Amino acid sequence: MPLVEIKWWAGRDDATKAKTIELVTKAVCDACGCPPEAVTVIIQDFDKAGWGKAGKPAA
């Protein structure tokens, strides 16, 4: 059961998330030879203020 977690900044619409889930699922199935029913994709949206890099918030 492949599990893919995607963490990105908030702001993408539901259509973009749906397309991402579709394409990621297809890529995993192509690579692993598993059926789509075996793949789980989790998307987490984060505010830039809660995301830091190089010691500074991304906001």
pLDDT of 12 strictly over 90 = yes
Predicted pLDDT of residue 59? 87
CATH number for domain 3-51, candidates 3.30.429.10, 3.40.50.1860, 3.90.550.10, 3.40.50.720: 3.30.429.10
pTM over the 0.95 mark:
no
User: Exposure string (b/e) for 5-34, b if CB count within 10 Å is 16 or more?
Assistant: eeeeeeeeeeeeeeebbeebbeebbeeeee
Q: How far apart are CA 28 and CA 34, in angstroms?
A: 8
pLDDT (tens digit, 9 = 90+) per residue, 14-53? Answer: 999 999 999 999 999 999 999 999 999 999 999 999 999 9
Cβ–Cβ < 8 Å for 45, 9: yes
Any idea where the domains of the chain sit in the sequence? 3-51
